[in-house]
Amino acid sequence: MSTHDSLDPETTETLLSRRDAIRGGLGLGSRAAAGLALGSAPLALAALASEAFGQARDLPGDVVEVLNFGLMLEELGVDFYTRALAAPGLLTGNPRAVFEQILKHEAGHRRFLRATLGDRAIAAPRFDFTGGMGRGNGPLAGVFSDRETFLAVAQSLEDLGVRALKGQAPNLLRHDAVLQPALRIHSVEARHASQVRALRGQRRWIVEESGGPGIPALLQGAYEDEDNTFHFILAPLRHTEEVTRAFDEPLTKGQVIRILRPFMATVPELGGRVR
């Protein structure tokens, strides 16, 4: 079971007050206008996000941390699917079209995050999808040659990505200009997870805390505590299999990095302000 913050009087007051100060006044600044003039929605949107704070260098430190964590996940996705699509014979027909679509989205997310972060973006980490921490000799030697292994890793990484982004949303609560793009990325990751699960013949939602048969031991953590049914102190739900399917559970940054550590040849400096 995960832990839950209780509601203190201060949050009660916040709850009952409007957020006009943050919501209002997000005008179209010069960089956003320039992005639109150039016909580049990514640049315009990224500029819009950073202009809410002035320039990228004015992004609050905690927001930079969240965005760089997201960027690390997108770099992982881009690298993973680029390699898979380049692997001879691994992906053909409809599954190939599915993963091309997914890669296209991950690349779009990465571009948006890099444009928003500017020179505060982390360098792309190096990954080792065998799970060997950069030595290339981890237990998943067949990740780009065996279709079942690839799909099981892809499913785990997508389900994990959903949980990882979900865990960051509350960190962006006061930063609407980046919260909405983050939410819009999050639901796309959930669509990816749904589709990859279907390619594996799994139900599209997470049952209890299992990824189904074939999930590598290294990635079991992606499903840990997914069976939580306690979401709000005032409305606990009885634990049933169907209720576990109805809610996806967040993970903290630390939990996600621990799970991903075997797949990382280098670990970026992500800071320690946010969980």
Partner 1 sequence: MARQRPGAFGPGADHGRWEGSLSGEGSRLEVAQSRRGCLKRAGGMGAAALALPAAGCAAVGRINSHTLDFSTDFGVLNYAYSLEVMESDFYNRVVASPPRGIRPEELALLRDIQQHEMAHRRFFARALGPLKIDVPERDFSSVDFTSRDQVLTISRTFEDTGTAAYNGAGKLLSLAEFLSIAGKIVSVEARHAAALRDLTMNDPRAFAGDDIIDENGMERALDPPEVIDRVQPFFRERFRLSGLPGRMA
CB of residue 210 vs partner 1: minimum separation in angstroms? 15
Query: Hey, what are 41's tokens?
Result: 């929605």
Token match 């890099």: residue? 114
Listing DSSP states for 190-211 in one string gives HHHHHHHHHHTT--SS-BTTB-
Of 122 and 178, CB closest to partner 1: 178
CB of residue 42 vs partner 1: minimum separation in angstroms? 5
Select the residue interacting with partner 1 from 223, 249, 251, 264 (CB under 8 A). Answer: 249
44-103: contacts with partner 1 (CB under 8 A):
45, 94-95, 97-98, 100-102
Rounded distance, CA 103 to CA 1, Å? 33
Across 217-237, b (16+ Cβ under 10 Å) vs e yields ebbebbbeebbbeeeeeeeee
CB of residue 87 vs partner 1: minimum separation in angstroms? 19
CB of residue 167 vs partner 1: minimum separation in angstroms? 8
Q: Find out whether 93 and 157 touch, Cβ atoms under 8 Å.
A: no
CB of residue 95 vs partner 1: minimum separation in angstroms? 8
CB of residue 208 vs partner 1: minimum separation in angstroms? 14
Q: Which stretch binds partner 1 (CB under 8 A): 20-28, 131-139, 146-154, 252-260?
A: 20-28
Q: Find out whether 118 and 56 touch, Cβ atoms under 8 Å.
A: yes
CB of residue 2 vs partner 1: minimum separation in angstroms? 10
168-227: contacts with partner 1 (CB under 8 A):
169-170, 173, 176, 179-181, 183-195, 198, 203-205
Q: How many residues bind partner 1 (CB under 8 A)?
A: 76
Rounded distance, CA 145 to CA 87, Å? 7
Please tell me whether residue 34 adopts helix, strand or coil conformation.
helix
- Which runs of consecutive H residues, i.e. helices, occur in 137-175? 147-168
118-177: contacts with partner 1 (CB under 8 A):
162, 166, 169-170, 173, 176
Judged by CB under 8 A, does residue 111 bind partner 1?
Answer: yes
Of 91 and 219, CB closest to partner 1: 91
Rounded distance, CA 209 to CA 222, Å? 9
228-247: contacts with partner 1 (CB under 8 A):
231-238, 242-243, 245-247
Q: What angle do CA 68, 69, 75 make, to 5 degrees?
A: 85
Of 131 and 250, CB closest to partner 1: 250
